[in-house]
Chain A
Amino acid sequence: EVQLVQSGAEVKKPGEPLKISCEVSGYRFSRYWIGWVRQMPGKGLEWMGIIYPGDSETRYSPAFQGQVTVSADKSNSTAYLQWSSLKASDTAMYYCARRLVPHDVFDIWGQGTMVTVSS
């Protein structure tokens, strides 16, 4: 069974760093792009960026370029989303999802990681 399992909820203070994870199972990790999507409380979906674990090629939405870093580790079939310095406005649910090429849609999603940033 194809699964994307995300790390647990986080509560952080403004200015702190954070790295959340998305562990993949049930298919060859390096063969599919993984994307990250933000959903702020009560709001819609926003595409943040994607990574191809095979060669670590990344693409970012301009809205998130420079604000977050997407990475992947083939040795443990895990993708990551990280912040160097969190802001209160980063409070949101973050989903990882598998990208289907060439359709450019996301067919399998993780359960989400809730990130709360508060002083």
Chain B
Amino acid sequence: KNEVEQSPQNLTAQEGEFITINCSYSVGISALHWLQQHPGGGIVSLFMLSSGKKKHGRLIATINIQEKHSSLHITASHPRDSAVYICAVERNTGNQFYFGTGTSLTVIP
């Protein structure tokens, strides 16, 4: 049973395209995290959300608590955005996380 589902699993885009990655979850949460992992690299936190929307540069993350759904958008995608994007939810206990299996994004020049 997967508490966190991401789609798509793999995504290839042309440079400049608008990209959306989706995350659905089935448990009660206190926050949702979007993480980025470049090939061979460590995991970096992009966003933590408990409601609404956050923006950082070309990245936008939204969450709908009622629908238990979050999206990560990348505007004007660039080859350096190529990475695995992981959705993680934080349980109400605050020390328990569930992770999606990740979306592998490749942006072609």
Q: Verify that A and B bind, or say they do not.
A: no
Which residues does B use to contact A, with CB under 8 Å?
none
